[in-house]
Structure 1
Amino acid sequence: MEPIAETYTMVIQQANNASTWYKENIRDKRRYSRGIRMISIILFGLGGIIPLINALILENQGKYTILNLGYISIALAGTLLLLDKFFGFSSGWIRYITTEMEITKKTKEFELRWKIETYGKNLAELPEEEAKELLRMLADFVLMVEEIVKEETSSWAMEFQNNMAELQKSINNKVETSMPGNIKVNLNNIKDYKKLKIKLDNHGSIDVRRKIYFFQRVNPGYHMITISGESTTGQLVESAEVVLVEAGKLSELTVNLES
């Protein structure tokens, strides 16, 4: 073969190899993406159906509850979608398809242009300037294919970095929002009562001996403070107050017992 013809064959083969690589790897991306999406849809559907089954059948018959399974199903579906986003199965599938199509298109266009430029010419006996022009065409085509692959790789790198940053941000937010808080309870008019007890939610009761109580390392959310005891006249009393605990903050509650 003539040197230019050999170079042309090598360049086209490299472009076809790049296109084939993307075409073959599309299969794995497509399989994982479709599998995750299908399972997620099923789990989301179960998450909506299970509470209905629980309410219409099991609760009416006085049987056990499966309500929590609905929450678990939805949580699993969301986790699968997060995995898909983090590992880029769906986005990679689309990216591989577009890249493979772009390389194939450019290769066919170049092959057609090459036939036009070399029609009726003997590649072994070309003048130096015409030979250089054909070699420049080949070089430009190689650079164009490499640029397409580079853009795809850069898109993947950018997506991966963004996903990592978003994951780290989500972890930090989760840590911040799950930090325990504290509760300060101010008790007024306790001198008019005896055998007073205070408790947080369903935890054990504590004998009231002072006007201020602290509950430390309380999970964020709504909590109930209950005060119970007897008045000086022997009447049983009980007071319950709800307090919202924010992550890492001190929540203050004042309970005014009737004097």
Structure 2
Amino acid sequence: VVGGVAPWGYLALLLGVACMAGDRFFGVTSGWIRDVATAQAVQRRLQVLQFDWASESVREVLGPADGTASEAAERCLGVLRRFSEDVTELVRTETADWMVEFRTGAAPLGIQSAGTVGQRTDSGASPGRFPLPPGAGARPNMPRQRPPEPR
């Protein structure tokens, strides 16, 4: 009975090693971790928006002590603008990081570890199979939708 179980054990071990190698090569777990981290970051920003919006709503209920209705509307629009710009920057950064990781391809098992996928090294390059072209490690230059608000 013991002799008949051993081949199945070795097959299960081989299958486990193959799954780990495939995960490391294709970056499934690191992609999932980045997805969860980005979703949590968006959730935190949404909570800040809800708090700021509630603060502005309370300010409106308490009365016009803080200025005119147009100033109140401007403050509310400022809250929405900050949220929109924050989430847009988060998405832009994550997309740029993903594009760099996608261009470099999957790294061999000896170079890549689950904790360093998509992170930059001290030299500014991302770990991967192929070197990045000059200037690819820099932030992409994306135009703003409108000039920044004077503060």
Aligned Cα RMSD in Å? 2.9
> Per-residue displacement from partner, 1:202-240 (whole Å, max 9, x unpaired)?
xxxxxxxxxxxxxxxxxxxxxxxxxxxxxxxxxxxxxxx
1:28-177 matches, within 5 Å, as 58=6, 65-66=10-11, 67-78=13-24, 79-85=27-33, 88-118=34-64, 133-171=68-106, 173-174=128-129
1:174-253 matches, within 5 Å, as 174=129
Q: TM-score, normalised by structure 2?
A: 0.55
How far apart, CA to CA, are the structure 1 residues paired with 2:85 and 2:70? 22
Q: Mark the CA change 1:90 to 1:65 in structure 2 (over 3 Å): closer, same or farther.
A: same
How far apart, CA to CA, are the structure 2 residues paired with 1:113 and 1:64? 67
How far apart, CA to CA, are the structure 2 residues paired with 1:171 and 1:74? 14
Structure 1: any 5+ residue segments left out of the alignment?
Answer: 1-56, 120-129, 177-259
Q: Mark the CA change 1:64 to 1:89 in structure 2 (over 3 Å): closer, same or farther.
A: closer
How far apart, CA to CA, are the structure 2 residues paired with 1:64 and 1:144? 59
What displacement does 1:165 show? 0.8
Q: Match of 1:58, as an amino acid?
A: A
How far apart, CA to CA, are the structure 2 residues paired with 1:134 and 1:165? 46
> Per-residue displacement from partner, 1:35-86 (whole Å, max 9, x unpaired)?
xxxxxxxxxxxxxxxxxxxxxx516xxx78314212112134443213325x
Could you tell me whether the CA contact under 8 Å between 1:58 and 1:65 is conserved in 2? yes
- Counterpart in the other structure of 2:119: none
How far apart, CA to CA, are the structure 2 residues paired with 1:64 and 1:95? 42
Q: Match of 2:74, as an amino acid?
A: A
How far apart, CA to CA, are the structure 1 residues paired with 2:21 and 2:9? 21
Could you tell me whether the CA contact under 8 Å between 1:99 and 1:149 is conserved in 2? no
What displacement does 1:112 show? 0.9
Could you tell me whether the CA contact under 8 Å between 1:99 and 1:152 is conserved in 2? yes
Q: TM-score, normalised by structure 1?
A: 0.34
Q: Mark the CA change 1:58 to 1:175 in structure 2 (over 3 Å): closer, same or farther.
A: farther
How far apart, CA to CA, are the structure 2 residues paired with 1:81 and 1:58? 30
Could you tell me whether the CA contact under 8 Å between 2:45 and 2:83 is conserved in 1? yes
How far apart, CA to CA, are the structure 1 residues paired with 2:17 and 2:82? 47
Structure 2: any 5+ residue segments left out of the alignment?
Answer: 108-127, 132-151
Identity of aligned residues (%): 9
Higher relative contact order structure (alpha carbons within 8 Å, sequence separation ≥ 6): 2
How far apart, CA to CA, are the structure 2 residues paired with 1:77 and 1:171? 10
What displacement does 1:144 show? 2.0
How far apart, CA to CA, are the structure 1 residues paired with 2:75 and 2:130? 52
Report the count of equivalent residues.
103
Whichever structure has more strand as a proportion of its residues is 1
> Per-residue displacement from partner, 1:134-177 (whole Å, max 9, x unpaired)?
2112112212212112111111111110121133234584368x
